[in-house]
């Protein structure tokens, strides 16, 4: 099975514009994301940044070109269509959806979910419901053929923007696996980059790193999160 990772990114975030190219210690947020994802079992040539065709997002295309990252450009607001067309363009049998605000993606989580996909017949594997993982460690794996089949039903503008809300509302109709953690420390931890406050917390976490950021797993990062929060 050919599996790809599609990172959705745009420059015009409402709460923190340009966040995907903001730098921490001289490195762009999107580069942190990519470098962590290339540690997974997915071939790095199948890691794609999916942005819009809007002029504002030319900066993302230039960033990708500079770093030899693959970039796909599609619809601005219909992210569902952008993802589907990206997956079909690269002939992915399944794709892993990663948001551009997920700075600390975890290779072990992704690899375990890929293993479940390869050994079973699920159409959709997710660690989002119940939030047993921190916000910002969200992983959804979607079979391309399945998403292509249901796409004509994704007509609501909100569903098109949020990609998988239609699936969650109709979850009983589909073959879905929930991947959960029993680590109680993860509950209510927010590692997603939504606003300036998040950016400051994430910056402080990265500044705590003594090794390459890819050496730190989610447990390590959550420990540092609590350390940063305690220090204010």
Residue 70: beta bridge partners? Answer: 48
Nearest alpha carbon to residue 208 among 199, 197, 221: 221
The pLDDT, as a whole number, for residue 166 is 98
Say which CATH superfamily domain 3-231 falls into: Spore Coat Polysaccharide Biosynthesis Protein SpsA; Chain A (3.90.550.10)
Confidence (pTM) = 0.96
**Residue corresponding to tokens 């599996």:** 3
* Placement of tokens 């209510």 in the chain: 188
Q: Is 18 helix (H, G, I), strand (E, B) or coil?
A: coil
**CB burial string 153-185: b at 16+ within 10 A, e below:** ebeeeebbeebbebbbeeeeeeeebebebeeee
pLDDT of residue 13: 86
What is the full per-residue pLDDT of the chain (232 aa) written as tens digits? 999 999 999 999 888 999 999 999 999 999 999 999 999 999 999 999 999 999 999 999 999 999 999 999 999 999 999 999 999 999 999 999 999 999 999 999 999 999 999 999 999 999 999 899 999 999 999 999 999 999 999 999 999 999 999 999 999 999 999 999 999 999 889 999 999 999 999 999 999 999 999 999 999 999 999 999 987 6
Q: Which helix (H) or strand (E) holds 149?
A: helix 144-150
């Amino acid at each position: 099975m050919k599996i790809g990772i599609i990172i959705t990114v745009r420059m015009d975030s409402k709460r923190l514009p340009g966040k995907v190219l903001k730098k921490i210690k001289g490195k762009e947020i999107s580069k942190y994301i990519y470098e962590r994802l290339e540690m997974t079992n997915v071939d790095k040539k199948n890691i794609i940044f999916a942005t819009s065709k809007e002029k504002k997002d030319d900066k993302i295309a230039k960033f990708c070109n500079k770093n030899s990252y693959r970039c796909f450009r599609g619809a601005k607001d219909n992210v569902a269509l952008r993802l589907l067309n990206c997956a079909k363009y690269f002939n992915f049998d399944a794709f892993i959806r990663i948001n551009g605000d997920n700075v600390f993606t975890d290779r072990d989580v992704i690899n375990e979910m890929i293993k479940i996909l390869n050994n079973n017949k699920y159409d959709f594997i997710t660690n989002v419901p119940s939030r047993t993982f921190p916000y910002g460690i969200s992983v959804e794996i979607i079979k391309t053929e399945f998403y292509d089949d249901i796409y004509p039903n994704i007509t609501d503008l909100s569903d098109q923007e949020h990609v998988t809300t239609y699936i969650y509302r109709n979850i009983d109709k589909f073959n879905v696996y929930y991947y959960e953690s029993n680590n109680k420390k993860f509950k209510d931890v927010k590692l997603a980059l939504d606003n300036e406050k998040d950016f400051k917390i994430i910056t402080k976490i990265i500044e705590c790193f003594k090794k390459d950021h890819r050496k730190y797993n989610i447990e390590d990062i959550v420990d540092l999160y609590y350390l940063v929060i305690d220090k204010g």
